[in-house]
């Protein structure tokens, strides 16, 4: 995927200038930008999704997914109990 030099330069300049005056972002804006980032990530993954590739690794992916779901559920129950 080709990258646009103008976009990369603009982002790098923005980060560089934000470091100089000690820029402090709005927390609500940060949350919205984080959600947009997650949406773009999911969109990017969806563009490269291949059912054939998923079926090829199902013996590893299925038990791994079940274990990850169980671990996340266990940790979230523990966090809500003590939080």
pLDDT at 71: 93
pLDDT higher than 60, residue 20: yes
**What's the rounded mean pLDDT across residues 39-52?**
89
One domain, residues 24 and 7: yes
Host H or E run for residue 50 = none
One domain, residues 25 and 44: yes
One domain, residues 7 and 34: yes
Domain carrying residue 4:
1-49
**45: buried, middle or exposed (CB in 10 Å: 19+, 13-18, 0-12)?**
exposed
The pLDDT > 90 percentage for the chain reads 31
Instruction: State the Cα–Cα distance between residues 49 and 71, nearest whole angstrom.
Output: 25
62: helix, strand or coil: helix
One domain, residues 9 and 30: yes
One domain, residues 31 and 56: no
One domain, residues 39 and 2: yes
One domain, residues 1 and 37: yes
Number of domains the chain contains: 2
**39: buried, middle or exposed (CB in 10 Å: 19+, 13-18, 0-12)?**
exposed
Q: Where are the beta strands (DSSP E) in 18-68?
A: none
pLDDT higher than 80, residue 51: yes
One domain, residues 13 and 42: yes
Instruction: Say what the pTM is.
Output: 0.44
Mean pLDDT of the chain: 84
More reliable by pLDDT, 72 or 81:
72
pLDDT tens, position by position, 22-42: 767 677 877 888 899 899 999
Question: Contact 72/65 with Cβ under 8 angstroms?
Answer: no
One domain, residues 10 and 38: yes
């Amino acid at each position: 995927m080709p990258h646009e030099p103008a976009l990369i330069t603009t982002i790098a300049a923005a980060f560089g200038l934000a470091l100089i005056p000690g820029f402090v972002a709005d927390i609500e804006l940060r949350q919205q930008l984080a959600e947009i980032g997650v949406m773009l990530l999911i969109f990017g993954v969806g563009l490269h999704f291949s059912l054939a590739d998923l079926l090829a690794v199902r013996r590893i992916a299925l038990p791994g997914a079940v274990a990850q779901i169980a671990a996340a559920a266990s940790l979230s129950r523990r966090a809500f109990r003590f939080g």
